[in-house]
Amino acid sequence: MKKAAVMLYPLFSLQEISCLTELFLFHGKEIVTYAAERAPVRSEDGFTVLPDRAFQDFCREEIDCLVLPGIWEPLPVLLDRRNIAFLEQCRGEDRLVIAAGSSGPLLLGKAGLLEGRRFCHGVFEEFLEEFPVVPREGVVRAKLVEDGNLVTAHGDAFREFAAATARRVGLDCPETVFDGVAGKTFSEEDCTFHLPPEVMPEARAYWEKCLREIQ
């Protein structure tokens, strides 16, 4: 299975991609984070992340998906030429799934990846009047838009964004995967969890290994 790349930049939204990265983890899909330099990047949520690699070490052959989180303050990220140059190398990559949430499509537009595409965004119209970096003719007024290998969504559609992107890379993921529990009734059996018998030997071996290391 190929890996997924997540692009990081100052004040990126960790919350908007956390459902997607959880799906990748659940299905055994490795994630590689990239940034302009291999230095800590602080998210809008207050978490600091150390990227796995700098843009200059990008390995296209090992990934089949590139994820762009939303951005709290997009202008500084847009004006950093390193971010745009990184994305420009993905032009014409029809087999690479590109998933951008909220204000993430701004970067795609600046890099020329939205020409002739249908997409949505979560950006104030007044901002786009001052900085027209996305082609207006391709904008769809919807919460989630899928156009070929391109997946875009509003920030509040992060659950649907996660499920749609996961399916695009071939993962078995129903639309209801993040439906939540509000308004539903659950039995005691529904709230009790058991490991499958076939994985118990491996689980016990792992637990014993942890106990030995702790002691």
* Residue 65 domain-assigned (yes or no): yes
Neighbours of 198 (CB within 10 A): 7
Q: How much is the pLDDT for 175?
A: 80
Query: No. of H helices and E strands in the chain?
Result: 7, 9
* Residue 206 domain-assigned (yes or no): no
Average pLDDT of span 142-158:
97
Q: How much is the pLDDT for 38?
A: 97
Domain hosting residue 21, numbered range: 3-183
* Residue 209 domain-assigned (yes or no): no
- Is the pLDDT reported for residue 14 higher than 90? yes
Q: Smallest Cα–Cα separation from 54: which of 36, 77, 41?
A: 36
> CA–CA separation, 110 vs 106, rounded Å?
6
Q: Smallest Cα–Cα separation from 63: which of 129, 121, 3?
A: 3
* Residue 191 domain-assigned (yes or no): no
- Is the pLDDT reported for residue 215 higher than 80? no
At residue 183 the predicted structure's pLDDT band, cuts being 50, 70 and 90, is confident
- Is the pLDDT reported for residue 18 higher than 90? yes
Q: Smallest Cα–Cα separation from 119: which of 92, 91, 99?
A: 99
Percentage of the chain exceeding pLDDT 90: 92
Q: pLDDT tens digit string along 24-33?
A: 999 999 999 9
* Residue 125 domain-assigned (yes or no): yes
Q: How much is the pLDDT for 180?
A: 84
* Residue 25 domain-assigned (yes or no): yes
* Residue 192 domain-assigned (yes or no): no
Count how many domains the chain has.
Answer: 1
Average pLDDT of span 4-20:
97
CA atoms 138, 142, 147, 153: torsion sign: positive
Average pLDDT of span 46-60:
97
Average pLDDT of span 190-210:
93
Angle among Cα 180, 183, 185 to the nearest 5 degrees reads: 95
More confident residue, 93 or 82: 82
Return the CATH number at 130.
Answer: 3.40.50.880
* Residue 207 domain-assigned (yes or no): no
Percentage of the chain exceeding pLDDT 70: 100
Q: Which two tokens stand for residue 38?
A: 């291999």
- Is the pLDDT reported for residue 187 higher than 90? yes
